[in-house]
Amino acid sequence: MALFGQNRDVSMFRHVNRELLHNIITQQVAFYKVNIEKTKPNLYGENIDGKFYSEPVLLNCLIKRGDPNFEDKDIGKDFNRSNTFYFLRDDLTEASTYPELGDIIVYYDGYYEIEQVLYDQLFTGKDPDYNYAENPLNPALEEFGWSVSIGCVAHYVPADRVDITRERS
């Protein structure tokens, strides 16, 4: 049986992570989820009318910024950047949202479309959802580990391609 990673240890790390992300780092982004009911693809999977998004959710996150890339195009320079946004899984659960490919993250008035979702940050290297309870050498593994965060690798998208506009009051 494992010595570390039980519910008491997870509770302490959960508290420390929340304290860091919410009160010290305090980096927030707006998270737009694709609205599947309103977004109707045609026969080829293309969205003729564009994508529709649900109302944004403000989430605290940790950002790993990629290097900007400037490519020469026929009409001038083209800007591109890929960032990785890490969200605490508990925050996503509380917000009743889950990142998927095509969702949009707004960070400093820049729009980033999610291209990859990462689930690889585990406390004690174990996810309690996959406990392998039938293992006779280590019984009761469902009480150990914690899936800490979800990472979203997203690339920069020009605002006119996303078509999310801020309404004036």
DSSP 20-41: IIIIII--EEEEE-B-TTT---
Asked whether residue 38 is assigned to any structural domain, the reply reads: yes
Asked whether residue 167 is assigned to any structural domain, the reply reads: no
The most distant pair of C-alpha atoms in the chain lies apart, rounded to whole Å, by: 65
pLDDT of residue 136: 67
Establish how many alpha carbons lie within 13 A of residue 154's alpha carbon, considering only the half-sphere containing its beta carbon.
29
Contacts of residue 36, Cβ cutoff 8 Å, sequence gap at least 6: none
Q: What pTM was computed for the model? A: 0.83
pLDDT of residue 131: 63
Provide the residue range defining the domain that includes 52: 7-162
Asked whether residue 90 is assigned to any structural domain, the reply reads: yes
Asked whether residue 53 is assigned to any structural domain, the reply reads: yes
Asked whether residue 57 is assigned to any structural domain, the reply reads: yes
Contacts of residue 78, Cβ cutoff 8 Å, sequence gap at least 6: 70, 71, 72
Burial 23-39 (b: 16+ CB within 10 A, else e): eeeeeebebbbbeeeee
Asked whether residue 100 is assigned to any structural domain, the reply reads: yes
Q: Which residues of the chain have pLDDT under 50?
A: none
Total domains in the chain come to 1
Asked whether residue 124 is assigned to any structural domain, the reply reads: yes
Residue type, 13: F
Asked whether residue 169 is assigned to any structural domain, the reply reads: no
